[in-house]
Structure 1
Amino acid sequence: MNEAIAALVRRHDPDRFLTALFAPPQRRDALLTLYAFNHELARAREVASEPPLALIRLQWWREVVEGETRRHEVAAPLSEAIAAGKLNPADLLAIIEAREAEAYGDFETLADWRGWLLAGAGGLAVAAAFALGAPRPAEARPFGAAYGAAGLLRATGVLAAQGTCLLPRDLLARHGLSAEAFIDDPACAAAQAALRDVVREGRLLLAEAGRTALPRAAAAAALPAVLARRDLACWPAVAVPRRLGDRLAVTFAAVSGRILPRT
């Protein structure tokens, strides 16, 4: 295992680090490298003061995926995994495109927002399933998108503090809100009602995922959905940080092969 990559993912993406532990050992490095890459893409928005600056950072990663050699703790193993056929460049470029849309965070409609979730968090699950050798990696998409919806709920306060709202305008307008009003008071009644709509969307994605049976070898790509199900079931009373019950739920799902209840 690449210890530096593992430490980075464990520190910055503990949920996916936990789930990656259940990947076959010979495929775990590629999976952790993918998750480290995803963290670097997320940082593009977090550290940039303006969307164009985030796009510059994302373009740097696009060039790495397209074959540029860069000396970087994540770029170098990423290039190696691509060259070895362990990660699919098309999957990675699709994730970058979703991050580019996120840099502006201006989703007009709920359909646009769903598309972003399916391409971003969902696309990451697709790339993970490819890394694990799934014959039909696209089947992992709703699992990842459901985790993305739940993760957005968990991050609402942090995002608002950063001046960011990633909810679609039509959903906000349904509750008499603008993005600016949501950012100003994400705890107000209207904002909480909007977030309940996000919970509902997340549950719909879980229901779609529950109709899919991934091969056992690719289960680690879908395991974040176990955490999404727990978060969506108890929102807004989610545990931060994760508790023993969350870790046990992931472990049981990995050992039993039952990621979600069948729908």
Structure 2
Amino acid sequence: MDGVRAADNDRYLSALYAPAGKRDALLALYAFNAEIASVRDRIHEPLPGEVRLQWWRDVIAAEGDAETGHPIADALRATVAVSHLPKAAFDNMLEARIFDLYDDPMPSRTDLEGYCGETAAALIQLAAMVLDPAAAPSFAELAGRAGCAQAITGLLLLLPLHRRRGQCYVPADILAAAGTTAEQFVKDDGGPDAERAVAAMIALAREHLGAFEEGAAALPASLRPAFLPLALTRAYLDKMERRVRFAPGTRVALSTVRRHWLLLRHAMRGWALL
């Protein structure tokens, strides 16, 4: 699962804090997520992407333990079987990822939150089920908040890539309130309207992050690794806001040392002291 280290380093580092017997299962989930999140990068037209996503549906839905020859698919199938993960969650995740293949605008905040719920939030909940199936159901709502905060922050971090593609994940109602449109937001190099739209997205991410942090103190230590990427979310958002002008083309990153420190701190102490 070395691919996770390169494709999704934050989740890779978080998985290292899981018990040794659970790490491979978490990395299988994260490798699958990285695969379907990057389908757009490997295609030139949407249809081949839909075919690829359908292949994953068929692989996950298939009964039996026959190997596919695809190492990530085989590891995922084993994880689903051993941890008794709901296949419907993967089907919903794959359905949501169809949006990535097209340049359609995100209609509303509600649609964005639904997308985040079926992708990042579902992944957190599946990871929680791997780690502690008895405790995980009690924190499903918290996973929803965490997933929205993490996904919206991730979309902000990917703004340069999305602009090059001509994609816009900022909801139309947020863009309208900022005085712009999806077409203008993608083409512009910044400006007051784009700044207002980005600020609104940061505020939305903070809203979900705050709700997550209010309940995160109750997280048992057994579930922390599933939520551990959220240890970095506030730092990413803070860095975005500290910039005088956060133009859509600006790249935001945290140093390796800071990421390791934040992950270690929350892995050891959780969110109780925030």
In the other structure, the counterpart of 2:143 is 140
Q: Deviations over 1:172-224 (max 9, x none)?
A: 12223222211112523211210111101101111221232222111011111
Query: CA separation in 2, counterparts of 1:98 and 1:174?
Result: 25
Aligned-residue offset at 1:239: 4.7
Q: 1:159 to 1:242 in 2, by over 3 A?
A: farther
Aligned-residue offset at 1:86: 5.4
Moved more, 134-143 or 170-179: 134-143
Query: CA separation in 2, counterparts of 1:56 and 1:101?
Result: 14
In the other structure, the counterpart of 1:98 is 96
In the other structure, the counterpart of 1:161 is 164
Q: Which amino acid aligns with 1:171?
A: I
Q: How does the TM-score come out when normalised to structure 2?
A: 0.86
In the other structure, the counterpart of 2:181 is 178
Report matched runs for 1:1-263 at 5 Å: 5=1, 7-67=2-62, 69-85=67-83, 87-104=85-102, 105-134=104-133, 135=135, 136=137, 138=140, 139-212=142-215, 213-236=218-241, 237=243, 239-240=252-253, 242-258=255-271, 261=274
Aligned-residue offset at 1:98: 1.8
State the SS of the aligned residue for 1:70: coil
Given that 1:142 and 1:209 are in contact with CA atoms closer than 8 Å, whether structure 2 keeps it comes out as: yes
Instruction: Structure 2: give runs of 5+ residues left out of the alignment.
Output: 244-250
Given that 1:102 and 1:166 are in contact with CA atoms closer than 8 Å, whether structure 2 keeps it comes out as: no
Given that 1:13 and 1:39 are in contact with CA atoms closer than 8 Å, whether structure 2 keeps it comes out as: yes
Q: Deviations over 1:120-157 (max 9, x none)?
A: 11111111111112422523222122111111111101
Moved more, 98-107 or 70-79: 98-107
Q: 1:45 to 1:222 in 2, by over 3 A?
A: same
Given that 1:109 and 1:169 are in contact with CA atoms closer than 8 Å, whether structure 2 keeps it comes out as: yes
Query: CA separation in 2, counterparts of 1:52 and 1:126?
Result: 29
Given that 2:83 and 2:129 are in contact with CA atoms closer than 8 Å, whether structure 1 keeps it comes out as: no
Aligned-residue offset at 1:28: 0.7
Q: Deviations over 1:31-61 (max 9, x none)?
A: 0000000011012222222333322211111
Q: 1:67 to 1:179 in 2, by over 3 A?
A: same
Given that 1:110 and 1:168 are in contact with CA atoms closer than 8 Å, whether structure 2 keeps it comes out as: yes
Query: CA separation in 2, counterparts of 1:260 and 1:117?
Result: 27
In the other structure, the counterpart of 2:247 is none
Aligned-residue offset at 1:241: 5.3
Query: CA separation in 2, counterparts of 1:227 and 1:260?
Result: 15
Q: How does the TM-score come out when normalised to structure 1?
A: 0.90
Given that 1:143 and 1:224 are in contact with CA atoms closer than 8 Å, whether structure 2 keeps it comes out as: no
